[in-house]
Amino acid sequence: MSAIQLREGVWSVGVLNPALRVFDIVMESRYGTSYNAYLVTGGEKTALIEAVHKDYFEDLVSNIEEILPVEKLDYLIMNHTEPDHSGGVRALLDRCPNLTVLCSSSAKKFLTSIANEEFPCRVVKDGDTLDLGGKTLRFISAPLLHWPDSIFTWDEADKTLFTCDFLGCHFCEPSMRDTGIHPEFRRYYEAELLNYFNCIFGPFKPAVLDGLDKMPAGVELVCTSHGPTLSQSIGYVKDCYRQWAAPAVRPDGKKTVGIIYCSAYGCTRALADAAAKALTADGLQVTTLDVVFAAPETVSALVNACDVVLFGTPTINRNAPEAIWNAVHGVDAINTRGRAAGAFGSFGWTGEAAGMVQEQLKQLKFKTVEAPFKVCFTPTEADLTTMAEWARGVADLVKAPESVKPKAQKYICKLCGYIYDPETGDPDRGVAPGTAFEDVPKLWTCPLCGMDKAMFKPLD
């Protein structure tokens, strides 16, 4: 791909990768992708926005050199430092002796470890500007879209917003414009847009709503870091994001329970049914799903929508079946706070599966009861009664009024929104549950974005 002029003084200089089928190890990219980068010049100074994956650095350079010699670049703006945008930074610094990197404070920290070297850097805050001589860029803080480091860059003169991954999509479109998508392929683009949202932004829905609100009025062109730039689709994509990020509505205010199971001979199913019957009778809203017959998206949507999730698994060859592990893998591990889960199942002789799943649920930080519930082969009537009580015990972890009251005020990180809760502390980093924020060690830093303790303020 060569450079494509998008506006006066704005070029797309990124790289197409139509053959990629798996992105970042975990994400299917059925229609390839593009590693987007943009050149913006104001006449006097020139900025590159994003630096592509390191494997495509030379392609980036040859695209830039259609406009100007790469050594002439003055600035590199990193809206976000994930290696698919920052992999080329180190090579670029070697080629451009006068290059200054502009990025958020956490991006500077991340980039120092990614490039493993110091570099000339100007940390920018919300509202800061960069004068290119005849064109001014403004930076907009947009944390957690989808890393703590994210910012948007706004080119007011060209009504162009550079959003990095936000509103992007793995979809290789050689014209680099949404207007270039063949009408026949539009539905594939839209499907990939949803897939991308779910994988990348699903865990950060409140941040998505903030990001939409922070987009300046009058944007005519959105330059994302993957897929075509948006002009005619801006309204459509924003509406989709707003709808997908909206909090789930519970008209009747009931606590929700998802029971996810599989069962070869009906034993685990009988346990699932007993739990569903008891919890429904208690007034909870229960959905039961056999994972063998449900689409993965349906399973993960249920797993992540419910206050309480129960996983029912038989033991097969000393393990849980793949379908159950896939369902557990679908858990949005960033948003399990305040939710409860547990594992149950039937077994024949060794019975490991329910315990293995229960252990994983604990590691995912669900609230849970001490032990899974297991039954040898066919459940008796007494087993079904005990199962119902066990399920109630798990559900009560959410229903019960907060028995462990926070000992002190919760605090929120002003950069990324991480909430320090004295009730849970930060045991992984040496802060025991029950530690008031005031007693957290001075050198403790935000587990999410790495900011100092001083960056926290009391949560209203």
Ligand X SMILES: Cc1cc2nc3c(=O)[nH]c(=O)nc-3n(C[C@H](O)[C@H](O)[C@H](O)COP(=O)(O)O)c2cc1C
Residues at the site binding ligand X, with contacts judged by CB under 6 A: 263-268, 314-318, 346-351, 377
Buried b (16+ CB within 10 A) or exposed e, 75-87: bbbbbbbbebbbb
Task: With residue 9 as reference, give the H or E element that holds it.
Answer: none
What span, in angstroms and rounded, lies between the C-alpha atoms of 356 and 142? 38
Residue closer to ligand X (CB basis): 92 or 272: 272
What span, in angstroms and rounded, lies between the C-alpha atoms of 349 and 347? 6
Residue closer to ligand X (CB basis): 256 or 263: 263
Q: How far is the CB of 268 from ligand X (least distance, A)?
A: 3
Q: How far is the CB of 333 from ligand X (least distance, A)?
A: 27
Q: How far is the CB of 373 from ligand X (least distance, A)?
A: 13
Residue closer to ligand X (CB basis): 202 or 258: 258
Residue closer to ligand X (CB basis): 246 or 376: 376
Query: Which amino acid appears at position 15 of this protein?
Result: V
Q: How far is the CB of 342 from ligand X (least distance, A)?
A: 16
CB 51 within 8 A of CB 196: no
Residue closer to ligand X (CB basis): 318 or 457: 318
> Is residue 229 helix, strand or coil?
strand
Q: How far is the CB of 278 from ligand X (least distance, A)?
A: 19
Cα distances (angstroms) measured from residue 402 to each of 250, 340, 397, 405, 423: 21, 13, 9, 6, 10
What span, in angstroms and rounded, lies between the C-alpha atoms of 364 and 375? 25
Q: Angle, to 10 degrees, between the axis of helix 234-245 and the axis of helix 205-214? A: 150
Residue closer to ligand X (CB basis): 236 or 265: 265
Residue closer to ligand X (CB basis): 131 or 322: 322
Residue closer to ligand X (CB basis): 185 or 265: 265
- How many alpha carbons lie under 13 Å from residue 271 in its C-beta half-sphere? 35
- Report residue 448 as tokens: 């999410």
Residue closer to ligand X (CB basis): 268 or 435: 268
- What is the torsional sign of CA 378, 383, 388, 392? negative
Q: How far is the CB of 356 from ligand X (least distance, A)?
A: 12
Q: How far is the CB of 218 from ligand X (least distance, A)?
A: 59
CB 158 within 8 A of CB 172: no
Alpha carbon 15 to its chain's center: 24
Selection from 167, 73, 165, 162 nearest residue 124 by Cα: 162
Strands 411-413 and 456-458: antiparallel
Q: How far is the CB of 313 from ligand X (least distance, A)?
A: 8
- Report residue 54 as tokens: 């390191």
Angle at 37 between CA 144 and CA 190, to 5 degrees: 65
Residue closer to ligand X (CB basis): 177 or 374: 374
Q: Please count the residues of the chain.
A: 460
CB 231 within 8 A of CB 179: yes
- Report residue 182 as tokens: 């063949």
Residue closer to ligand X (CB basis): 121 or 375: 375
Provide CB contacts within 8 A for 235, sequence distance 6+.
none
Q: How far is the CB of 378 from ligand X (least distance, A)?
A: 7
